[in-house]
């Protein structure tokens, strides 16, 4: 028997003389498991066995961070892509014509009309949707469940938007 020191707790681990490379021994004091490794001089080296969670932690692999990094990289790529498009537009287009077009009466009228329409549509949607949502969540009346199911079984796109907004759990009590 070869007496080795536990790398974790400095306890004594008895390794058999005929231990093979890759054999597993455990420390009697702390219970950690180690893999027996033999170097060139046939000297025994104990390597800690890493569990999957420890391997993931050791390599700093975090699925949320990977998704976050992917999202940031994608946003950066899109930013560079659109920056290139704008730069090419500025390069190939006469600046005088671009400014003349941007500040023409028709363009400014279209922008103003779009802003007013979007603002009015948002205000109207809020004026109708907030009291309706409050009434659906607080009051009980005949046909309420059919009405809620009708809202919830619209297209999958609308379902995902409502779920993302946190409305589905509130309505499906």
* Residues 49-70 pLDDT 10s: 666 555 555 555 556 667 788 8
Q: Which residue has the higher pLDDT, 156 or 14?
A: 14
For the CA atoms of 105, 109, 112, 114, the dihedral, rounded to the nearest 10 degrees, stands at -140
Does residue 122 surpass a pLDDT of 90?
A: yes
3-class secondary-structure state, position 26: strand
Nearest to 135 by CA among 148, 120, 123, 125: 148
pLDDT in tens, 12-38: 777 777 777 777 777 777 777 777 777
Give the chain's length: 173
Question: Which pLDDT does position 153 carry in this prediction?
Answer: 64
Please answer whether residues 137 and 170 qualify as being in contact, where contact means their C-beta atoms are separated by less than 8 angstroms: yes
Helices (H) and strands (E) in the chain, counts: 7, 5
CATH number of 2-49: 2.20.28
Pairing of strands 33-38, 24-26: antiparallel
pLDDT in tens, 92-119: 888 788 788 889 999 999 999 999 999 9
User: Residue 35: how many CB atoms within 10 A of its CB?
Assistant: 15
What's the pLDDT band for 85 if we cut at 50, 70, 90? very high
In 27-85 the beta strands, taken as DSSP E runs, fall at 33-38, 44-48
CA distances from 91 to 86, 105, 156 (A): 9, 25, 42
Which two three-digit tokens encode residue 5? 């020191």
Rounded percentage of the chain residues whose pLDDT exceeds 70: 73
Q: Can you give the residue ranges of every domain in the chain? A: 2-49
Please answer whether residues 103 and 112 qualify as being in contact, where contact means their C-beta atoms are separated by less than 8 angstroms: no
- Average model confidence (pLDDT) for the chain? 77
> What single-letter DSSP state applies at residue 143?
T
Residues in a beta bridge with 24: 35
């Amino acid at each position: 028997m070869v007496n080795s020191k536990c790398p974790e707790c400095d306890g004594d681990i008895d390794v058999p003389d005929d231990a093979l490379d890759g054999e597993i021994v455990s420390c009697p004091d702390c219970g950690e498991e180690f893999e027996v490794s033999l170097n060139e001089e046939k000297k025994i080296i104990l390597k800690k066995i890493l569990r999957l969670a420890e391997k993931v932690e050791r390599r700093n692999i975090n699925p949320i961070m990977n998704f976050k990094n992917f999202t940031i990289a994608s946003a950066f790529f899109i930013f560079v892509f659109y920056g290139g498009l704008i730069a090419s537009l500025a390069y190939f287009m006469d600046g005088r014509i671009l400014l003349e077009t941007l500040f023409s009466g028709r363009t400014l009228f279209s922008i103003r009309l779009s802003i007013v329409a979007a603002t009015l549509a948002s205000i109207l949607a809020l004026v109708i949707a907030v009291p309706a949502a409050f009434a659906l969540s607080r009051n009980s009346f005949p046909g309420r469940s059919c009405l809620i199911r009708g809202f919830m079984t619209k297209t999958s796109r609308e379902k995902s938007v409502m779920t993302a907004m946190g409305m589905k759990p509130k309505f499906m009590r």
